[in-house]
């Protein structure tokens, strides 16, 4: 399929919701990515919108389902803005490639080099990063006393950039980064090093790194429904590691199942998903959401998925 704005506009019509009640404040938000049909974001956002009295609709713009090439990304943004979207969330694999299609970014998003939230307004399409804050808040809530001397992070993509900054802010002594794309890992290490010098390095041998690590974070897409498995051989995982995941569909990845069986302390990706969604919701609406209510919305979405199996 071509990437012209006209053709993309017709494609986007396929996911547009019915006309909302004109008598209520109306807001239309979307999530762009690939393989996102299991996302809990629509339910979280829509239920919180309803709780606050908004006619709030959240749609999935799944490039896989819509048979869209990556080059259609800019046209999707242009079409979404023309159709009245207030903003978009962005997920794998577009958190970095979307930057070239924006009119501006917040200082935090620019420093991280990754965008997961776009707000449309008079200044244009402005990119934000709520992932980093979301991961940090989740970690502080559930893993506040976890040792942070040495941590291994798998993944240096858009989500990995946000997590690396969060881990530095959390006080990690040494962050060892592993990615199958060594150039991408090197670039992230340089970028993070500008703000946190001397505390991060690229690691080519995950086995050696994990032997000396207190904990590890999976910031790759491996473990998602579309990409099952683990980001490293399971034999490298030890009961002494704490394990953090950023994937939230499925809620329990293969990595978390293995870690739980070994007795590791674990941090599922649900906390990050809820916190980043809460901040994104506030950016979209200007209203402060209730984080606990959004956690309940997430649980409702997960139960709905289970009931449908």
Token digits for 73?
């990304």
Q: What angle do CA 247, 45, 166 make, to 5 degrees?
A: 40
Q: Is 214 exposed, middle or buried (0-12, 13-18, 19+ CB in 10 A)?
A: middle
Q: Which of 279, 232, 223 is nearest to 44 (CA)?
A: 279
**Under 8 Å CB-to-CB from 148, ≥6 apart: which residues?**
167, 170, 171, 172, 173, 214, 215
CB atoms within 10 A of CB 69: 10
Among residues 10, 43, 83, 95, the one annotated as catalytic is 95
How does DSSP classify residue 132?
Answer: H
In order of 96, 194, 274, the CA distances from 231 in angstroms are 21, 27, 23
Q: What angle do CA 213, 129, 51 make, to 5 degrees?
A: 110
H-type helices in 23-157, by residue range? 41-51, 73-82, 107-112, 131-142
Positive or negative: CA dihedral 176, 179, 180, 185: negative
- Catalytic, 43? Answer no
Burial track 125-150 (b if 16+ CB lie within 10 A, e otherwise): bbbbbbbbbbbbbbbeeebeeeebeb
Q: Which residues pair with 265 in a beta bridge?
A: 242
For residue 267, report the phi and psi dihedrals to the nearest 5 degrees. -125, 105
Distance CA 216, CA 237 (A): 9
Residue numbers annotated as active site: 95
């Amino acid at each position: 399929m071509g990437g012209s704005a006209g053709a993309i506009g017709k494609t986007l019509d396929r996911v547009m919701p019915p006309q909302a009640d004109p008598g209520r404040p109306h807001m239309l938000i979307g999530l762009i990515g690939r393989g996102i049909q299991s996302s809990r974001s629509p339910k979280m956002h829509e239920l919180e919108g309803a709780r606050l009295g908004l006619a709030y609709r959240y749609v999935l713009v799944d490039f896989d389902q819509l048979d869209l090439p990556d080059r259609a990304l800019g046209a999707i943004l242009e079409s979404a803005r023309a159709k009245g979207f207030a903003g978009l969330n962005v997920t794998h694999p577009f958190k970095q490639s979307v930057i070239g299609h924006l009119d501006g970014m917040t200082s935090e998003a620019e420093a991280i080099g990754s965008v997961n939230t776009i707000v449309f307004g008079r200044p244009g399409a402005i990119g934000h990063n709520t992932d980093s804050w979301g991961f940090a808040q989740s970690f502080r809530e559930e893993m506040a006393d976890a040792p942070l001397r040495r941590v291994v992070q798998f993944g240096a993509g858009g989500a990995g950039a946000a997590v690396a900054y969060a881990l530095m802010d959390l006080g990690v002594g040494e962050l060892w980064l592993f990615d199958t794309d060594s150039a991408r890992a090197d670039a992230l290490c340089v970028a993070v090093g500008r703000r946190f010098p001397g505390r991060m390095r690229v690691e080519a041998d995950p086995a050696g790194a994990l032997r000396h690590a207190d904990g590890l974070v999976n910031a790759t897409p491996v473990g998602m429904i579309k990409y099952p498995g683990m980001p490293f051989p399971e034999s490298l995982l030890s009961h002494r590691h704490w394990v953090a995941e950023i994937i939230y569909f499925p809620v329990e990845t293969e990595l978390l199942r293995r870690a739980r069986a070994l007795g590791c302390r674990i941090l599922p990706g649900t906390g990050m998903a809820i916190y980043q969604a809460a901040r994104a919701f506030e950016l979209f609406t200007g209203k402060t959401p209730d984080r606990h209510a959004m956690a309940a919305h997430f649980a409702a979405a997960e139960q709905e998925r289970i009931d449908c199996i």
